[in-house]
Structure 1
Amino acid sequence: MLISHKSVDVVTVTYGERWKLLEKVIKRVITFKEVNSITIINNASTYSIEEKLTEKNLNEKVIVVNQNVNLGSALGYKKGIQRAELEKGKFIWLLDDDNLPDENAIQNIIIAQKNSRDKEKTVYSSFRNDREELIRNNGQKLIENTFFEFSIFEKMKKKKTVQSNIDPKILSCDYVPYGGLMFPKAALQEVGYPNEKFFLYVDDFDYTYRLTRKGYKIKCVTDSIIEDLERSWFRVEKEPLFKSFFKADDLYRGLMHIRNRVYFEEENNNSNVYIYNLNLVVYLTFVFLKYMPKNANGLKKYKLILNAIKLGKKGKLGNEIK
C-alpha cells in the first residue's frame, strides 16, 4: 500500500502560546495533495485556535480537539491518533507543532516506499534537521545494557569505521521521535497507542520501539526533511543532556526526560542488570566529575538526577517527579 492522493491524516499536539510556529506548519501541510486531514490536539493553549484558523483562512482539512488541561505529549498524541483513525486516510503522519516539512517531504517518502524491498512491514520517518547524529551513527540502534547510549565496553574498543548504507538516503532506526513518523493505520492493531503514563519525553521512543519489537522496520528518509523551528531544550547548545541540565533553571523537563529514559531502558534494554548498572555508575561518575558544578547547587541538582533515576527504575511515571 503506497501513499497516494488524500491518503495521509496528520496529527499534531500544541499548547501554550505557539501559534506562530503552528501556523507555519499548517500552511505547509495543507498544500500537500496527499494530506486528507490535520488533527490538532489543543492542550489548553492560551488562545483560540479556531479563531486563528478562521482569521487566516486555514480551516480546510483541519480538525481541532480542545482540552481543558495540558495532557502531555503521550496522551495528546494518543487522542490525536484515535481521532485520525476516524478519517479516510490510510496513513498517519505525526508532526510536532514546530516541525516544518520541506515541500518535497512526502514525495521523497513515496520514492523510498517504491524503492523498498519490504513494503508490508516498513514505516517511515522524515529527517529532523537537528538530528545530525543519525547520519554520523548510520541510524539509531538500541544497544543492550547501555545507559543513555553509553557503554564502557564500547568505549574500550578501538573505534571502527561505520559501514555506509547501500542507500545513504535511508537510515535504519530502532526508534525515532514522533515528529516525522508516518505509518499505516493498520499497524495500530499490533502496536496500539502511546503510553500516556510517560506524560512528557521518551514516550515517542517507547511507542516507536514497539513497532520494532512487532517486526516493523523503521526507515528514516534523509531527504524528507523537517525543519525544527524551535530546538529541543538540550539541543540549543548542541551538548549532552546531563551537561545542559546543570545549566538549566527549569529542571522539570530534564528530570522527566531522565526518569522516563531510565524506565524505557529498564523495559527494553536491560538484559544484564550488572552490565547495565556498571554503565550507569561509570557514566554518572563522569557526570559528577565533569559536568556538575562543585558547589551546593550543583550537588543538589545531582541528587535530583539520582532520584529521577530511582523513580524510573521503580516505574513511577506520570506528570510529577516525586
Structure 2
Amino acid sequence: MVVAVVVAYNRRDLLTRALDGLAEQARPCDAVVVVDNGSTDGSGERAAAHRLRPDVLTLERNTGGAGGFAAGLAHAVLARGADLVWLMDDDTVPTPTALSALLDARARYAGRPAVLASRAVWHDGRDHPMNTPRPRFGLTAGLRARAAAVGAVPVRSASFVSVLLDATAVRTEGLPEADYFLWNDDFEYTARLLRRRTGLWVADSVVEHLTATFGDSDADPGGRFFFEVRNKLWLLRASSALGPLETLLYGAATLRRWARTLRRASDRATVLAAGRRGLAEGLRGQPQPTSAVLAGLGTVSDEVRAIEKGAGRD
C-alpha cells in the first residue's frame, strides 16, 4: 500500500499540477492525502474536487512544512494503513515513472531501504541545487556496488520534495519535528531515519521542483534565516540524527554555509538580525514535542499522538 502525501499552502495552481502528476503515474498510488496547511486561496477545495479524490486534511492553522508533513505522515500510516509513504511539496510535479522507478529500485535492492529519494530537476531539466542529497560516506565498495546495481546512490539524508518512506521505520522513529516549522525538518528527519538504516537516491525517479527561482535555499533567505540558524542548532544539540563525529563535521560545514549566506545577502542587516534571534533560541532550548505543537487539531492530533507515543517520543 503506497500512500502519497502532499503538503499544500496557498499555491493552488501548483497543487493542481502536483495532483495531475500523481494521477498520471504508471504505477498509481493506492491513496493520496493532501494536507491543507491553513490555506486562504482555496487550495483545499481545489484538492477535494480533483479527479484523484484525495483525503484532504484541513488544518485550522499553518503549521509549516514540518507540521504538515508530520500530520500527513501520521494519517497515511494510521488511517490509510500505508506500507510506504511518498512525501512531496505542492510545488513538486512527479514525472509518470517517478513512483515506479522508486519501487523498482526498492524491489531489486538486496536489503530493505527505509528511504528512497527522487532526482529533483527545475523546469528546464537542470538538477535542482536545493534538493541535492547528502551521500553516505564510509561505506564498503560492496555496499556501494549493491546500490549501483539498482541505479542508486547511498545517501545519509534527503529532501521532502520527493521521498518514499518505509512505514515500519516511521513507527519506530516517530514523526518530523513539527516545531521546526520550516527549514531543516527534512534533513533532521531523514538523517534520523537513516542513522542505522539504508537510504537510496534513485536517478531514474524524476520530479520537477517548480520553485520560482533556480538556486539553493541559502541564496538570500532574508528573515527566514532565523529558522535555518535555530533549527540547525536544535539539530546539532538535541537530535539523535547524527553521531558525534558527524555532529562535529556538520557543525563546521554549517558555519561555512552561514558565512556564505551573509556574503550573498542583499539585505545583510535583516539576515544578521534573523541569525541573532535564531542563535538565541537555538542555544536556549529545544523543540517542543510534535504532539504538543500539533495539539488542538482534532483527529489529526490524535493520530500524531498515537505515532509519537508508539515511538516513545510523546
How many Å separate the matches in 1 of 2:16 and 2:102? 23
**Alignment partners' CA distance in 1, 2:46 and 2:217:** 37
One-letter amino acid matched to 1:45: S
Backbone CA RMSD of aligned residues: 3.5
1:225 aligns with 2:209: no
Counterpart pick for 1:62 among 38, 50, 54: 54
| Cα distance per residue 1:160-203 (max 9 Å; x no partner) | xxx99845931221111112111222222211111112111111
- 1:36-75 aligned within 5 A: 36-49=30-43, 51-53=45-47, 58-75=50-67
1:236-290 CA distance string (max 9 Å, x none): 353671x524xx4xx1x222122212321334558379887776667666666x4
For structure 1, list consecutive stretches of 5 or more residues without a partner in the other structure.
Answer: 1-6, 144-162
Task: Determine whether 1:108 maps to 2:79.
Answer: no
Q: Which has the higher helix share?
A: 2
Q: How many Å apart are 1:141 and its aligned residue?
A: 4.1
Q: In structure 1, what is the Cα distance between the partners aligned to 2:32 and 2:9? A: 16
Question: What is aligned with 1:82?
Answer: 74
Which residue does 2:231 correspond to in 1?
260
What is the aligned partner in structure 2 of residue 98 from structure 1?
91
- The separation in 2 between residues aligned to 1:227 and 1:201, in whole angstroms, is 20
Aligned partner of 1:311 in structure 2 is 281
Distance 1:126 1:274, change over 3 A: closer
Separation in 1, partners of 2:283, 2:136 = 18
Shift of 1:122: 3.9
Whether 2:244 is the aligned partner of 1:271: answer: yes
* From 121, 130, 154, the counterpart of 1:172: 154
Q: Residues 30 and 61 of structure 1 are in contact (CA less than 8 Å); yes or no, is this contact kept in structure 2?
A: no
* 1:126 corresponds to 2:103: no
Report the CA distance shift for 1:298/1:188 in structure 2 as closer, same or farther (over 3 A): closer
How far off its partner does 1:302 sit? 2.3
1:49 shift after superposition: 4.1
User: Percent identity of the aligned residues?
Assistant: 19
Q: Which residue of 1 aligns with 2:174?
A: 192
- For the 8 Å contact 1:259–1:311, the answer to whether it is kept is yes
Q: 2:215 aligns with which of 238, 243, 247?
A: 238
The residue matched to 1:106 in structure 2 has which SS? helix
Q: Does 1:210 align with 2:186?
A: no
Deviations 1:290-318 (A, max 9, x none): 4467xxx6356324323423422333557
Change over 3 Å in CA distance of 1:133–1:88 after alignment to 2: same
